Structure 1
Amino acid sequence: MANSPHGGILKDLIARDAPRRDELAAEAEKLPAVVLNERQLCDLELIINGGFSPLEGFMNEKDYNGVCENNRLADGNLFSMPINLDLSEEEVKKTGIKAGARIVLRDSRDDRNIAILTVDDVYRPDKAKEGKLVFGGDAEHPAIKYLNNTAGDIYVGGKVEAIQRLMHYDYVGLRYTPAELRLHFEKLGWSKVVAFQTRNPMHRAHRELTVRAARQRQANVLIHPVVGLTKPGDIDHFTRVRVYQALMPRYPNGMAVLGLLPLAMRMGGPREAIWHAIIRKNHGATHFIVGRDHAGPGSNSKGQDFYGPYDAQDAVEKYRDELGIEVVPFQMMTYLPDNDEYKPVDEVPKDVRTLNISGTELRKRLRSGADIPEWFSYPEVVRVLRESHPPRNKQGFTIFLTGFTNSGKDAIARALNVTLNQQGGRSVSLLLGETVRSELSSELGFSREDREKNIHRIGFVASELTKSGAAVIAAPIAPFKSSRVAAREIVEKFGSFFLIHVATPLDVCEKTDKRGIYAAARKGDIKGFTGVDDPYEAPEGKEADLVVDLSKETVRTAVHQIVLLLESSGLLDQL
């Protein structure tokens, strides 16, 4: 087996003598530091361990432009994805970053110094050009959204010198560097290796596909799932790795190895496929399975696919000789119940009965607890998925009530709390506005900034409780749409979120106020009071999942409507 990837030299930047690492560690303590986010850490790890070879650092402007424009580094080496250290202008000024400077790159998770970067240049990228050339230019593409909304406006290029590896605490025995994996293959006597890229759980069809690909090429299999950053909404890597581990004994003895790849995916379709091929070649693979719409983010809001179904395969095939890795087209496998076997779709005669379960159907069955047949997935795999994906009536959710003071939202929240506790089945947590103010946000005032901080804290607590399977009832005023949207986004990572607008009119809220709070606000004794001298942005359109008005209905009726909403979503057993 060749030891060098696509004509270059595999460079593990941590493979240096201990005294030199000690020198770098001592120097790092005196240098300005840049704390890396999760995506930058994923990139740095694969720069350091040789996964991104021939890269030896974050791209300078010449390399960046070459990659964007023609898939080439400045020295002519093939590389298809920009790998950038993006920073804000403020951070660049704060750390005094300029050409020739040395900065330490620090892990945000544990504050460890990982590497020293010697700055080649500091430049402002043309993000519109990058988005168009690399990802196709559609503003809805997740990578372009990241570029425009999250990535820093300044790129810093330069080579890195590794001080130490990033520290991982999960699945340590499965985290091979490229050099370690190549050595492992050598020990096993493997000369041909088919790499399989995945960011989803694997089922019986995937096992059949990879076994078939290996046997046709007299090769072995590397199951090489991404455990860095994948597509938003994907199943977490802890669950996926447990699935892969459960599946491995189903391979013929000695055929397959499982290794984890700490990659931050960009969902870049053709460009990403070339990038993935380079990475797998660096890890010792000789063949690479490229799927239909490989690493594509799906379709935009108009239903238009970002990439063609075979664009990725064509892109890798174009550079096949230079990559030094053979493309294995992904074959769609289907189940033949009469023969109890899987075959590629294009090899099945028209009159032969077939069965299949789509990803949507699988998720539906997991949510409902319905049967998942053994012909589709192995029992041990289904068991892992059911542990991480309980049926809807066991999942957590958040009911978020918003409205004026004295609108009745607190009364609805208390009554709903009693109703859900009476039913049982899950814990119920009540987060009333005044309680949160006294217990979590006592130092905050009522400026817009402080109000949004308060709602952010409520959203965070609700998301953690939702993740644990609880029912959460929150009832802040939440006068601003932006903070309500943010709360929904953080909770929906872990469960369902329902916004209930308690639309009792302001004049009714004021007339029925027995505590005299509105009167005090009208006199000026209370400043920044929502509805009096502070605005309330009422939910419009589809923002609210339910609208109730206690000037027209009772608390009991409002609670019943919320219960019906939960039941219709499958979140409650029938009362």
Structure 2
Amino acid sequence: MANPPHGGVLKDLVARDAPRRKELSAEAEKLQAVVLNDRQLCDMELILNGGFSPLEGFMSEKDYNGVVEKNRLADGNLFSMPICLDLGEEEIKELGIKPGARITLRDSRDDRNLGIMTVEDVYKPDKKNEAEKVFGGDPDHPAVKFLFNQTGEYYVGGKIEAIDRLMHYDYVALRYTPAELRLHFDKLGWSRVVAFQTRNPMHRAHRELTVRAARSRQANVLIHPVVGMTKPGDIDHFTRVRVYQALLPRYPNGMAALALLPLAMRMGGPREAIWHAIIRKNYGATHFIVGRDHAGPGKNSKGDEIYGPYDAQYAVEKYREELGIEVVPFQQMTYLPDSDEYKPKDEVPKEIKTADISGTELRRRLRTGGDIPEWFSYPEVVRVLRESHPPRNKQGFTVFLTGFTNSGKDAIARALNVTLNQQGGRSVTLLLGETVRSELSSELGFSQEDRNRNIARIGFVASELTKAGSAVIAAPIAPFEKSRLAAREIVEKYGSFYLVHVATPLEFCEKTDKRGIYAKARKGEIKGFTGVDDPYEAPSGKEANLVIDLSKENVRTAVHQIVLMLESDGLLDQL
């Protein structure tokens, strides 16, 4: 018999409300609709399917205050993470959201109506208190940044009547609801299940620790990775799921099962660990592995760990009886070369030789094509990772040139385009400022807002091409630092970004202008011209990867400097 759900009853709203779905669907079309963002959709899915039991909707102010202050809902049930529908003041007024109102909750991805909420209350949270009590208050914490920068100023609470589940098109066979997974365990005859939370690829050490945990409890293993929102910079869930699928046959005698969890993580350390335990209990697990710095965001800007290494384990252990799920402490495994086996690090005598590969080192080896030994990971796992992490000379990158009109950035961009195409090995895309203006941004003017929007479009296109393994050469004027930094941020999710400041002095640009554009600008015939009546925020030494001045050197030398920069980072190495 599987572990009973948290609160005693699994709140599968779609199953419970099945007879009313057609009626509700018709009503939903007539109501004002809130279109849910990515995080709200993750929360909505787990409210609807019972993963967040005993919740039946987004938290009211009483529930929210209880959770923030005491880890408890208003009815006394343990719950550690606020699950709130955040909205802006303008949207609340526009939609007429107030206590007693009924509103449709809609999927932003396909405009499907998911449910109807009867509003219990609309309240303004004390975000500073929430940040402090729930996440520890560190301003560098990603959840604290999200809270202050991306969530609406009001929360709307109320119960939900379900219309439909969220639609997924990837790994459908692995997307179990809590009720479905409990039934799956029952079919397999599993009564003791150790759940393993992960947002990273798994290797031999993970397999060894989960096998040990299961055998010591005479249980089976549920690999339950998060495929909603995780920590920025994490490996995409498509790659990770392929890794888990490759690893599954390495478990003995059908010991392990794989199911996906559509959770939006907050990286909330101790609070998050309690939350994860509640969710796994709802999915039918009897045991839960809590890792070192479980769901921790890492270090802050001062280099200090935001949470202690075992804070999460202590937090879950404190509520062990109430949770009704046994905590299995994560054991740090290490490889013993002489005996070709893994053992818990604290059980290995100091004189015994050990070997480990850190996450940073693994990423370096993937990036450079370095050897990843079989003692560390299985060949089928490495194969999947290499498909998603090509070596440096096959990775995409963006060279972003900025400077005044007639600074020579276009000439450098064209010459670099020819040079990289001559070398071969990857596709090359040239995004000249004038071309982008005519093809992508023809409706935009030259206000600061429109200029920023233009650079945002270039950044998006460059990021998609970089992700696909292309070399991108962009050469807009890009006069504002904020938009250049935003372009760097979006591109660096997928590859390297190099800002080249073509710092040819304005006087030289104007003096050598054969088209007479500067003369027209000086006469007032062209308005909003950068360097004449519009500002240019020159990149700082920290922002620019390379500074070139074509009043002192020629295009060939400039291109050679860029090529040397790319070669030094391994991007142009030949196989």
**TM-score bucket (shorter structure):** over 0.9
Aligned mates of 1:512, 1:373 — CA distance in 2: 58
- Aligned residue number for residue 280 of structure 2: 280
Aligned mates of 1:118, 1:515 — CA distance in 2: 65
Whether 2:84 is the aligned partner of 1:84: answer yes
Query: Does the 8 A contact of 2:3 with 2:281 survive in 1?
Result: no
Aligned mates of 1:438, 1:79 — CA distance in 2: 54
Aligned letter for 2:150? T
Give 3-state SS (helix, strand or coil) of 1:6's partner: coil
Aligned mates of 1:156, 1:540 — CA distance in 2: 44
- Aligned residue number for residue 255 of structure 1: 255
Offset at residue 6 of structure 1 (A): 3.5
Offset at residue 349 of structure 1 (A): 1.5
Query: Does the 8 A contact of 1:7 with 1:322 survive in 2?
Result: no
What does 1:349-364 correspond to in 2, within 5 Å? 349-364=349-364
- Aligned residue number for residue 334 of structure 2: 334
- RMSD across aligned C-alpha pairs, in angstroms? 1.0
Aligned mates of 1:525, 1:193 — CA distance in 2: 75
Aligned mates of 2:181, 2:239 — CA distance in 1: 23
Offset at residue 339 of structure 1 (A): 1.0
Aligned mates of 2:574, 2:204 — CA distance in 1: 35
- Aligned residue number for residue 41 of structure 1: 41
Aligned letter for 2:26? A
Instruction: Compare 345-354 and 198-207 and name the one that shifted more.
Output: 345-354
- Aligned residue number for residue 399 of structure 1: 399
Aligned mates of 2:70, 2:17 — CA distance in 1: 37
CA deviation map 1:171-224 (0-9, x unaligned): 000001001111111111111000000000000000000000000000000000
Number of residue pairs matched? Answer: 575
Aligned letter for 2:165? R
Query: Does the 8 A contact of 1:6 with 1:323 survive in 2?
Result: yes
- Aligned residue number for residue 383 of structure 1: 383
What does 1:557-572 correspond to in 2, within 5 Å? 557-572=557-572
Aligned mates of 1:144, 1:522 — CA distance in 2: 48
- Aligned residue number for residue 510 of structure 2: 510
Aligned letter for 2:193? V
CA deviation map 1:469-520 (0-9, x unaligned): 0000000000111111111111111111111111111111100100000000
Aligned mates of 1:11, 1:288 — CA distance in 2: 21
Whether 2:288 is the aligned partner of 1:291: answer no
TM-score by length of 1: 0.99
Query: Does the 8 A contact of 2:488 with 2:497 survive in 1?
Result: yes
- Aligned residue number for residue 22 of structure 2: 22
Aligned mates of 1:242, 1:413 — CA distance in 2: 39
What does 1:430-441 correspond to in 2, within 5 Å? 430-441=430-441
Instruction: Compare 6-15 and 526-535 and name the one that shifted more.
Output: 6-15
- Aligned residue number for residue 180 of structure 1: 180
Q: Gaps spanning 5+ residues in structure 2: where?
A: none
Percent identity over paired residues: 84
Aligned mates of 1:57, 1:465 — CA distance in 2: 40
Give 3-state SS (helix, strand or coil) of 1:253's partner: helix
Query: Does the 8 A contact of 2:142 with 2:297 survive in 1?
Result: yes
CA deviation map 1:338-367 (0-9, x unaligned): 111110011112211111111111011101
What does 1:411-430 correspond to in 2, within 5 Å? 411-430=411-430
Offset at residue 2 of structure 1 (A): 5.0
Whether 2:542 is the aligned partner of 1:542: answer yes
- Aligned residue number for residue 143 of structure 1: 143
- Aligned residue number for residue 265 of structure 1: 265
Aligned mates of 2:8, 2:512 — CA distance in 1: 77
Aligned mates of 1:361, 1:461 — CA distance in 2: 30
Instruction: Compare 288-297 and 13-22 and name the one that shifted more.
Output: 13-22
CA deviation map 1:306-338 (0-9, x unaligned): 000000000000000000000000000011111
Runs (4+) of structure 1 moved beyond 6 Å?
A: none
Offset at residue 384 of structure 1 (A): 0.1
Whether 2:200 is the aligned partner of 1:200: answer yes
Query: Does the 8 A contact of 1:5 with 1:324 survive in 2?
Result: no
What does 1:129-140 correspond to in 2, within 5 Å? 129-140=129-140
Aligned mates of 1:446, 1:200 — CA distance in 2: 44
Aligned letter for 1:55? L
Give 3-state SS (helix, strand or coil) of 2:385's partner: helix
Aligned letter for 1:503? A
Give 3-state SS (helix, strand or coil) of 1:430's partner: strand
Query: Does the 8 A contact of 1:21 with 1:162 survive in 2?
Result: yes
Q: Gaps spanning 5+ residues in structure 1: where?
A: none
Aligned mates of 1:112, 1:2 — CA distance in 2: 33
- Aligned residue number for residue 370 of structure 2: 370
- Aligned residue number for residue 127 of structure 1: 127
Query: Does the 8 A contact of 1:3 with 1:10 survive in 2?
Result: no
- Aligned residue number for residue 552 of structure 2: 552
Aligned mates of 1:393, 1:534 — CA distance in 2: 40
Offset at residue 16 of structure 1 (A): 3.2
Give 3-state SS (helix, strand or coil) of 1:165's partner: coil
Aligned mates of 1:19, 1:44 — CA distance in 2: 20
Offset at residue 3 of structure 1 (A): 5.4
Aligned mates of 1:367, 1:527 — CA distance in 2: 47
Give 3-state SS (helix, strand or coil) of 2:253's partner: coil
Instruction: Compare 133-142 and 437-446 and name the one that shifted more.
Output: 437-446
Offset at residue 17 of structure 1 (A): 5.4
- Aligned residue number for residue 189 of structure 2: 189
Aligned mates of 2:7, 2:99 — CA distance in 1: 30
Give 3-state SS (helix, strand or coil) of 2:16's partner: coil
- Aligned residue number for residue 464 of structure 2: 464
Aligned mates of 1:17, 1:560 — CA distance in 2: 67
Instruction: Compare 543-552 and 326-335 and name the one that shifted more.
Output: 543-552
Offset at residue 8 of structure 1 (A): 2.9
Offset at residue 301 of structure 1 (A): 1.1
CA deviation map 1:513-570 (0-9, x unaligned): 0000000000000011001111111111311111111111111111111111111111
Aligned mates of 1:349, 1:534 — CA distance in 2: 68
Whether 2:302 is the aligned partner of 1:302: answer yes
Aligned mates of 1:242, 1:179 — CA distance in 2: 25
Aligned mates of 2:209, 2:185 — CA distance in 1: 21
Instruction: Compare 316-325 and 181-190 and name the one that shifted more.
Output: 181-190
Offset at residue 7 of structure 1 (A): 3.9
Aligned mates of 1:123, 1:320 — CA distance in 2: 32
Give 3-state SS (helix, strand or coil) of 2:526's partner: coil
Aligned mates of 1:459, 1:17 — CA distance in 2: 45
- Aligned residue number for residue 62 of structure 2: 62
Aligned mates of 1:563, 1:265 — CA distance in 2: 41
Query: Does the 8 A contact of 2:393 with 2:574 survive in 1?
Result: no
Aligned mates of 1:417, 1:427 — CA distance in 2: 10
Aligned mates of 1:357, 1:3 — CA distance in 2: 37
- Aligned residue number for residue 241 of structure 1: 241
Aligned mates of 2:435, 2:504 — CA distance in 1: 22
CA deviation map 1:256-299 (0-9, x unaligned): 10000000000000000000000000000000000000000000
